[in-house]
Amino acid sequence: MKKNNNFAPLIYVWLGTKLPKWVFESISFSRINNNERDIILIVNKKINRKLYINLGKIKVKLFYLNLKEINSYIEKSNTLNKSNNFWLFTSLRFEVLNYFIKKSNINSFFHAEIDNLLFNFDDLEAKFNQIGHGIFAPRDGKFRAIASFIYCNKPSCLDELLSLYSSPFNPGNDMEALGIYANQSKYFFSLPTESYEYTKKNWKMLMPEITNGLFDAAAIGQYCLGIDPRNNKYQPTFNLFKNEFSKVNFEELEIISNGVQFFLRSSKKKKFFKLYNIHVHSKDINKAISMIRKDKFYESLVKKQKLIVAHRYKIVLGTFLKIFDIFLLRIKKLIKFILNANKIKVKKKNF
């Protein structure tokens, strides 16, 4: 594949289910901020014609990949958490990336999850290339790293990462696999998150003065617009959510926008750094874009005022559903008790 002006391409991967409605808005935002580089979207299912045309208008290169071509090791592995397809596909995308870059002769690339809004990369790949060769990703724990934003300039690292999906490592998901690789390999570079003042004491990492910015693993997007509603069954989605893995003092944390991108500092004693990405965990991409442009949610963020971001109806309905679930659970327990009691009676009659 021919490179565009020597800029590393940005590669998205979406597997399994059909593309969500907010995909175009997210990729469009990345295109506006990174107009000079190739943007590639790899899918394993055909997309609707309207989205196909719209992606073409913003010069996104679409590739359809039949997963059978890969002969997946991960899919056959018994070590991965396969309780639902989500965890399978998040790991399988590493195999897809590995297969695609080898087939396309790509030596360096960026990868981001599609629920991330990406700001301008500036000369980020040049900075990374001077630092070393390997995988660059944000890390929010000693034993996990997050693929919200990745740069790779050593393709063989993907082979090494994929080899960890076996005994004795046996990662349960993609975050654990990256965490194992971070601890095992000299070719992993930890990118600074909002918690860099704390994490620099616990593992080797690149400082924001070197990268000229910070990277969001998940905590900033969750703080801005809450968590994925699927993880919040009975309650509406609120902003100002505090990620348990984040070590920043949220009371002192400051996030500001210039209308185009976000800047962050962990306290008034520290300097502001630009954010390279915001991981919109709630998946409300349009609301996140409006926030960057300083809407009411941005004002509440600056003032640290908690607001309902989505699913206001759950205030009433959520309580009802929770009570109903408790009622069903008690009915099940009662039925089980009656059945067990009958079994005991039958046994006594037999004696």
The answer on pLDDT for 170 being more than 50 is yes
Least confident stretch, 77-86, 139-148, 161-170, 182-191: 77-86
Banded model confidence at residue 1, pLDDT cuts 50, 70, 90:
very low
pTM: 0.87
CA–CA separation, 248 and 196 (whole Å): 8
**DSSP secondary structure letters along 143-206:** TEE-TTEEEES-THHHHHHHTTSSTTT--SSHHHHHHHHHHH-TTEEEEP-TTHHHHTTTS---
Banded model confidence at residue 346, pLDDT cuts 50, 70, 90:
very low
pLDDT for the residue numbered 233:
72
**What is the pLDDT averaged over residues 151-162?**
97
CA–CA separation, 234 and 320 (whole Å): 9
The answer on pLDDT for 318 being more than 80 is no
Is the CATH code 3.90.550.10 the one for domain 10-191? yes
Banded model confidence at residue 347, pLDDT cuts 50, 70, 90:
very low
Residue with token string 């995308």: 93
Least confident stretch, 290-294, 325-329, 333-337: 325-329
Hey, what long-range contacts does 53-59 have (CB within 8 A, 24 or more apart)? 54/24, 55/24, 55/27, 58/27, 58/28, 58/31, 59/31
CB 193, CB 214: distance < 8 Å = yes
Banded model confidence at residue 322, pLDDT cuts 50, 70, 90:
low
CA–CA separation, 14 and 42 (whole Å): 6
The encoded tokens of residue 89 equal 């596909």
Domain residue spans of the chain: 10-191, 219-310, 320-351
